[in-house]
Amino acid sequence: MLLNVIHRPETGKNYPFYKLQQEYAHKLNLKITLMIPVSSLEDDAMVEEIKQYHRDFGDELALWLWRINKPEWGGNTPFWLASEENKRKSLEYALQLFRTKLGCEPVSIGSYLLDALSMKIVKELSPATTTVTASCFEEGTKIFHGCNNSWYLFSEGVSWGPWYPGKGHSFRPAANEEDWAGLVAIPHLSRDLVLAYEGRNDFFASHPANVQRGLANKGLSHDYDFNLVDQYRMQEDYNDGYSFYHVHVSPSWLGDNPNLQDMPEVSQQLYLETLEYLAQLRDQGEVRDMYMKEFGYWFRDNIPVGKPIVALGKEILFGSGKHYFWYIDPYFRVLIDSNQGGSIGDIRPYAGRFAAHSGPDSPMREIASYPYIIQSQLRSGAQHHSADDGARTTLFVLNGEEKLDLCYCSTKVAAVERGDEGTRVRLTPASLSFKNGLQIEIETIYEFYPNGIIMIRRKLVRTSDQAAKIGIQEYFKGCYGFTEYAEDLHGIILEVEGDDRKKLVYDYNSEWIQVPNGTKASASIPPIQTYISLEPAEGTALLAEAAEGHLFNPYYSLKLHYELSENRKEAVTCLTIRKN
């Protein structure tokens, strides 16, 4: 596993705790990137000390963009919320200060968020910069509510690990060299691959004090911190031996912080022990620590632009046994929720090439997230009242008049296979029991291909009645959005094809269309330039169906109907996501 540790040199009351962090790291001979705020560059004594750390220990000198306090540029505005003009002025000022005080170029630059416009300005003003901290993985609506509606950082739909940002939207992985913004991006922290999706993810990350905020320690006992490191080490098994872990803890968290229930001495000890564990793994040859710029060079040399990356998250705090599988490439980011029968709980349709940045001169304003077409945490999930379930996929299984939903069957990820042609994820079989005594098991396999296609295989692996015929409905219920609130769905075009071809333009009237011998059910979403379709991989479905919702059910749905039996044990559906 590759490791990057960042410290932020801060003046004032946080200075003693920054010095303590440095003492811990240097005793362990860890490579440290100093992400230097502008306020520290304006302090000559701090600058001299930073230079000394660089000379004595080799600490990397990097630039941190947070608040650049110039009233004429918008005052105390966070960098990502400034206008294009003020972003440029802020960066010009910070770069000039960095060059003058330190005598070099910042090869690495960090911010809580760097949008596509900011990256463009960085490349123009600082061509030597190669690596940036660009986002907090899945930090958005839940954090906003958890921070009393005061933390204006909406950055969902990005990678959990390093990526090549695209030019139009910095969260979208570049499709090729021409599409690439020219920087290697890393997340602000390494987040828990289960709880980042389910809960308030700023509690559960490679930040021991945040783990304390989430009450996942008991005094000096903090196994969770070590288990999270091991969760990321495990990703080597699925990514050709590559994984990355990132620690970035500001010194305020080691002091008398009002957000923590523990005394500062506890916070300090937990941070030290986390660094000690990482240093121990390094000494054992399990971890390789790098400066941020060093990692950027390594990534560029070893990970091709456009290469898919995956991750398997196993829940490590509550003992629930949940598995989440993440997949990302230039066409989409997808989350498979095995605890809900292998349903898709999140899709970000990068294929649509949605372009945006944040700031007062942007129509997105404070929202930098990449849009979703499914997000079952923000937009509900399994059925919660009436028939109005939220954005998700599932498989409905029918026997006579009874219909069961596969999402109520807990499964696990049984195997992950990677190859040049694609990624194959097999889940453990889901067991279903009907009221008439029929018992069956259905196995789900996902095959991800680097061209915007997902093959969904549903296989009947056991039945208690060999003569039984089992109806199944492959179900996709989507919308599009950025937060938990509904966007305007007017103008979405739904189509079905088969023995006939029918079209429906979304107008919130709860209308539906269907055709027998279905070959396709599709949705076209103009605002995010995205097209989605379900198609039988072979032959036809019994029925293809599409439906619009209403204002109390603001979604669209696509269905393909099949029948499974001893004579036909498998149904395969092709889910395609492409630019509209």
Residues 161 and 15 in one domain: yes
pLDDT, tens digit (0-9, with 9 covering 90-100), for 238-256: 999 999 999 999 999 999 9
DSSP code, position 526 = G
**DSSP element (H, E) containing 556:** strand 553-564
pLDDT at 386: 58
Residues 246 and 386 in one domain: no
Residues 338 and 458 in one domain: yes
pLDDT, tens digit (0-9, with 9 covering 90-100), for 134-149: 998 999 999 999 888 8
Domain count for the chain: 2
Side chain identity at residue 495, one-letter code: E
pLDDT at 93: 93
Residues 563 and 452 in one domain: yes
pTM score: 0.97
Residues 299 and 361 in one domain: no
Q: Residue 248 has which token pair?
A: 């970035």
Residues 360 and 406 in one domain: yes
- Residue 109 belongs to a domain: yes
Q: How confident is the model at residue 75 (pLDDT cuts 50, 70, 90)?
A: low
pLDDT, tens digit (0-9, with 9 covering 90-100), for 363-400: 999 999 999 999 999 998 777 665 678 999 999 999 99
What mean pLDDT comes out for the span 23-43? Answer: 97
- Residue 276 belongs to a domain: no
pLDDT, tens digit (0-9, with 9 covering 90-100), for 286-330: 999 999 999 999 999 999 999 999 999 999 999 999 999 999 999
Residue 502 pLDDT > 90: yes
**DSSP element (H, E) containing 100:** helix 84-102
Residue 105 pLDDT > 90: yes
Distance CA 259, CA 207 (A): 14
pLDDT at 385: 62
- Residue 347 belongs to a domain: yes
Residue 12 pLDDT > 90: yes
Residues 354 and 496 in one domain: yes
pLDDT at 381: 79
- Residue 220 belongs to a domain: no
H runs (alpha helix) in 284-349: 292-302
Q: Which residues pair with 245 in a beta bridge?
A: 3
pLDDT at 195: 94
Q: How confident is the model at residue 71 (pLDDT cuts 50, 70, 90)?
A: low
The set of residues, in sequence order, having a beta carbon less than 8 Å from that of 251 and lying 6+ positions away, is 7, 8, 10, 14, 15, 16, 17, 18, 20, 21
Distance CA 249, CA 112 (A): 12
CATH of residue 375's domain is 2.70.98.10
What residues make up the domain containing 130? 2-190+242-259+285-305
Residues 366 and 400 in one domain: yes
Residues 297 and 335 in one domain: no
Give ∠ CA 357-297-42 in degrees, rounded to 5: 60
Distance CA 426, CA 415 (A): 5
Q: How confident is the model at residue 535 (pLDDT cuts 50, 70, 90)?
A: very high
- Residue 214 belongs to a domain: no
Q: Which residues pair with 2 in a beta bridge?
A: 244, 288
Distance CA 74, CA 69 (A): 8
pLDDT, tens digit (0-9, with 9 covering 90-100), for 443-499: 999 999 989 999 999 999 999 999 999 999 999 999 999 999 999 999 999 999 999
**DSSP element (H, E) containing 457:** strand 453-463
The pLDDT mean for the chain works out to 95
Residues 299 and 418 in one domain: no
The rounded percent of the chain whose pLDDT value lies above 70 is 98
- Residue 322 belongs to a domain: no
Q: How confident is the model at residue 201 (pLDDT cuts 50, 70, 90)?
A: confident
CATH of residue 84's domain is 3.20.20.510
